[in-house]
Amino acid sequence: MQLVLISGLSGSGKSIALNVLEDVGYYCIDNLPAKLLEETIQFLADHGYLQVAISVDARSGDSYQYLPALVQQLRQKLNFRLLFLESKTETLVRRFSETRRRHPLSNDHCALPEAITLERDLLDPIAQLAHRIDTSDLSANTLRSWIKDIISLQDARLTLLFASFGFKHGIPLDADFVFDVRCLPNPHYDPLLRPQTGRDQDVIAFLEPIVEVQEMLNDIEAYVRKWLPCFMRDNRAYLTVAIGCTGGQHRSVYLSERLAARFSTSMQTLVRHRELM
């Protein structure tokens, strides 16, 4: 069985993720109480379901507290993907205001921002075990694309994700490591390079000969290679290395692409460019 478990904050895009999986042939279950997870998986396996996606979140109520322990038990029996979707509080407030839907933890005594904070704290133990996806600045189409990229990966011990971003738009919530490359020469100040990105040949030709750029590239690579075995021993499925420059268009994109290329010869890698979506 290929199993995908989805959890995350209300309003972060779990329904979109589940719909993507249903579209590609997964049998999907939304809002399953956590206590029923193990027996549901066993039932589906016994009846020949080969691709299954299950969403478990704060709507499970008190039974959600059992989910981290259940995940640890399941990992001893199955290879599966655990995805956790999250967003910044201000983004979630805006989404709930636009849709006029009620947050599952809000009530007469708990305003929306407080309910989001409460839910974030409640779900944090499972977030620490999952591949986290920050959907704050993602369109629905981009999220669909990212979900498809993840499920297309072969089962592997660890997938290394390099993500570029712009500091002026905030640090990604799902980053495990964050490297600041704003100290490097900026192609933005060249009018010919400004509209281009770190994937374009002109920008590459600008950055490639700069000694500091190559030193930064080598140092980040050395740091990640040094600590990667620790994350592998911790049975992590994903490790997200975020590279940030001012706007997330030139330097961070270039370095993320180069790092992914260097690591792709020895392990499974993904590249994401948040500000280019």
What is the helix (H) or strand (E) element at residue 232, kind and residue range?
A: helix 211-233
Residues 135 and 210 in one domain: no
Residues 103 and 211 in one domain: no
C-alpha distances in Å from residue 85, one per residue of 11, 13, 95, 192: 9, 7, 14, 38
Residues 34 and 99 in one domain: yes
Residues 58 and 120 in one domain: yes
Q: The domain that contains 135 carries what CATH number?
A: 3.40.50.300
Distant-in-sequence, close-in-space partners of 54: CB < 8 Å, separation ≥ 6: 3, 4, 5, 6, 28, 29, 32, 37, 40, 41
Phi, psi (degrees; rounded to nearest 5) at 158: -150, 135
Its pTM stands at: 0.80
pLDDT for res 79: 76
Question: In 3-state terms, what secondary structure has residue 2?
Answer: strand
Distant-in-sequence, close-in-space partners of 113: CB < 8 Å, separation ≥ 6: 89, 93
Q: What letter would DSSP give residue 276? A: G
Q: What is the number of domains present in the chain?
A: 2
Residues 116 and 219 in one domain: no
* Mean pLDDT per 10-residue segment, the chain (277 residues): 93 94 94 91 94 90 84 84 94 89 83 91 91 92 90 77 95 94 97 97 98 98 94 83 97 98 92 91
| CA–CA dist 153, 72 (Å, integer) | 22
Residues 147 and 164 in one domain: no
Q: How far apart are the first and last CA of the chain?
A: 32
Sign of torsion over alpha carbons 112, 118, 121, 123? negative
Question: In 3-state terms, what secondary structure has residue 200?
Answer: coil
Residues 48 and 142 in one domain: yes
Dihedral angle over CA of 144, 60, 87, 179, nearest 10 = -90
Domain finish residue from 123, 152, 181: 152
DSSP states along 88-154:
-HHHHHHHHHHHTPPPTT-BTTB-HHHHHHHHHHHHHHHHTTSEEEE-TT--HHHHHHHHHHHHHSP
What is the extent of the structural domain holding 194?
159-276
- C-alpha angle 47-51-57 in degrees, rounded to nearest 5: 100
Residues 138 and 112 in one domain: yes
Q: Which of 240, 232, 81 is closest to 151 using CA atoms?
A: 81
Q: Which two tokens stand for residue 151?
A: 């499920």
3-state helix/strand/coil string of 73-97: HHHCCCCEEEEEEECCHHHHHHHHH
Residues 196 and 269 in one domain: yes
Domain finish residue from 152, 177, 199: 152
pLDDT for res 83: 95
Domain finish residue from 97, 124, 152: 152
Residues 78 and 124 in one domain: yes
Residues 35 and 164 in one domain: no
| CA–CA dist 137, 150 (Å, integer) | 18
| CA–CA dist 252, 245 (Å, integer) | 5
**Which amino acid, one-letter code, is at 67?**
L
pLDDT for res 75: 83
pLDDT for res 155: 63
Residues 145 and 179 in one domain: no
